[in-house]
Amino acid sequence: MISAQKIGRNIIKAFGYLTGYYSLLCYFIKNISLLGRAPIRYVFYKQVYFTGIEALSKITAIGILIGIVIITQVINIAGANAVLIGKILIWTVVRELGPLLAAIIIIARSGTAISSELGSMKVNNEADSLRIMGIDPVDYLLIPRIAGITISVFILTFYFQITAVAGGLAFTSAFKGLPFLQHIKGIFSALGLFEVAVSLAKSLVFGLLISTVSCYQGFSVEASITEIPQAATRAVMQSLFLVFIFDGIITLISFA
Amino acid sequence: MIRIENITTEDFNALSFRIKGGSVYKVITNSDYENRKLLNVILGLQRPEHGRVFLFDKEMYMLSSKELNRLFSRVGTVLKDGGLISNLKVWENIVLPVWYHSGNKPEDVEEKVVQRLKEAGMDVARLEELMGELPGPLPVHEKRLLGFVRAALMEPDLMIYDSVFEGLNQEMSERFIKLTEKFHSERAGRTSVYITPDEQSVKGIKADDILRL
């Protein structure tokens, strides 16, 4: 009985969150033109800097390592077959791992930061300070953040895929004796516009999900400082959960 | 300018008062808590269960959020803690409302900011140092002063001061009072409202009327 009640409560809570995310996303889409206003655009640029540019070194390192790991495993299993290596690299990095890993890195780096930052602004009545200056805190704080994170995830995904593929190819050419040009041929034989388009569509959806969830959770903090880490945890877990769900859905629709 | 009609909340029972335009008022509350609650009602942050609140003759809680934002661009508020935004540098904080509402470039108001802070007794070296800092570690009197400069840049018709002289030493308090009085007299028809539970802290202000809750 108690567990049934608990399940019911959790379902209601989850439904409440999903409704909130949907409303915020609709508000963002409806008011995206606010980015044309200089002070809001300034917050957007800062967000792109913190989420996108500051994450570049980590994305580069992880991308190169992932490329090397995948190629090493493929060579161990199937031998030094350039066409097969190219295909597997495209299948794993471009179709799946690129968007997913870039999203996970952004959730870990920026999802927590944004929900904590917004939460502490709410606790310190800074959202009210904006309101009494005639500045809508959702317009000023959330819209540029959602736009900034989404653009950053989109670009970082593309960048991650390039570094992973290039890192893998450079490694095999340098240490496994496979000719670089043969590799490139293998890559291009497996790479189609459709793969790239699906991967970028995924990154766009993931960006919107991560930013909406993190902003919503941070902004739902009310008055207590203890709510901030709870909001950050919810932002991370729910972003991850939604990213995996939507990854599955898009993959099924596109490749099944 | 401000009209409160029979408002009832958890903290107030059928409270009514009126603040006329072009005057200086002191509103003396009974505690910090009551002060905060009254400000929340006046500033559109807490809708009363009953009663009506008028600002510039408009019923505040009947307005859409866009109309309310427009209305509040005519109101300057200096909060007890300064009300500065923690992740913006001091300079960004000061120019935010004027940049947001009027679209003026921040550099256009630089001279006015410097002039106000010099009037407050700040020397140029401190001023230059201050502009690039985040507001978190600043002493409270500087936060209030910066909050005042930020509000004053908007040239508001109504200026509300929330216990801003509390806890200041006599010299600071006198200088700040002079600054607010000078600002009030700069434009005919401007209204200044000092809300505080500490009547002693606003003793030096020449008010047209005193309201005690």
Put simply, whether A41 touches B (Cβ < 8 Å) is no
Q: How many structural domains are present in chain B?
A: 1
b/e per residue, B60-86, with b = 16+ CB within 10 A? Answer: bbeeeeeebbebbbebbbbbbbbbbbe
Q: Is the dihedral of CA B15, A132, A225, A14 positive or negative?
A: positive
For residue B195, what pLDDT is reported? 95
Q: How confident is the model at residue A1 (pLDDT cuts 50, 70, 90)?
A: low
Phi, psi of B122 (to 5 degrees): -85, 135
For residue B121, what pLDDT is reported? 84
Q: Using the 8-state DSSP alphabet, how is residue B122 labeled? A: -
Q: Yes or no: say if A105 and A55 are a contact pair by the CB < 8 Å rule.
A: yes
The order of strands in the sheet holding B58-59 is B15-19, B2-8, B50-55, B58-59
For residue A2, what pLDDT is reported? 65
For residue A211, what pLDDT is reported? 97
Structure tokens at B119: 């009037």
State the count of interchain CB pairs (< 8 A) between A and B.
Answer: 62
Q: With contacts defined as CB-CB under 8 Å, which chain B residues touch A133? A: 72-73, 77, 96-97, 100, 150, 154
CA distances from B52 to A91, A128, B20, B72, B86 (A): 64, 21, 16, 17, 33
User: Is the pLDDT at A228 greater than 70, yes or no?
Assistant: yes
pLDDT in tens, B180-210: 999 999 998 999 999 999 999 998 898 899 9
| ipTM > 0.95 for the complex | no
Q: How many structural domains are present in chain A?
A: 1
Tell me, yes or no, whether B91 lies in a domain.
Answer: no
Residue in chain A lying closest to B92 (CA): A39
Q: Which of A44-48, B11-15, B67-71, B79-83 has the lowest mean pLDDT?
A: B11-15
Domain containing B50 equals: 2-74+156-212
Across the interface, whether the CB atoms of A134 and B75 are under 8 A apart is answered yes
Q: How confident is the model at residue B13 (pLDDT cuts 50, 70, 90)?
A: confident
CA dist A209 and A247 (Å) reads 11
Residues of chain B above pLDDT 70, percent: 100
CA dist A95 and A105 (Å) reads 17
b/e per residue, A148-174, with b = 16+ CB within 10 A? Answer: bbbbbbbbbbbbbbbbbbebbbbbbbe
Across the interface, whether the CB atoms of B72 and A126 are under 8 A apart is answered no
Tell me, yes or no, whether B12 lies in a domain.
Answer: yes
pLDDT in tens, A74-126: 888 877 777 788 888 888 888 888 999 999 999 999 999 999 999 999 999 99
pLDDT in tens, B155-178: 999 999 999 999 888 888 999 999
Residues paired with residue B194 on neighbouring β-strands, in sequence order: B26, B161
Domain containing A73 equals: 2-255
Higher pLDDT, B15 or A179: B15
Q: Using the 8-state DSSP alphabet, how is residue A177 labeled? A: -
Structure tokens at A254: 């596109």
Q: Which of A129, A222, A228 to mutate to test the interface with B (most CBs of B within 10 A)?
A: A129
CA dist B19 and A228 (Å) reads 39
CA dist B72 and B159 (Å) reads 11
H or E element: which one contains A76?
A: helix A56-78
- Start-to-end Cα distance in chain A: 41
User: Is the pLDDT at A65 greater than 70, yes or no?
Assistant: yes
Q: Within a 10 A sphere around the Cβ of A10, how many other Cβ atoms? A: 10
For residue A192, how many C-alpha atoms fall within 13 Å in the half-sphere facing its CB? 5
CA nearest to A170, candidates A195, A187, A158: A187
Mean pLDDT of all residues in B73-92:
94
Kindly report the CATH number assigned to the domain that includes residue B169.
Answer: 3.40.50.300
Across the interface, whether the CB atoms of B100 and A133 are under 8 A apart is answered yes
Q: How confident is the model at residue A137 (pLDDT cuts 50, 70, 90)?
A: very high
Across the interface, whether the CB atoms of B44 and A131 are under 8 A apart is answered yes
Q: With contacts defined as CB-CB under 8 Å, which chain A residues touch B72? A: 131-134
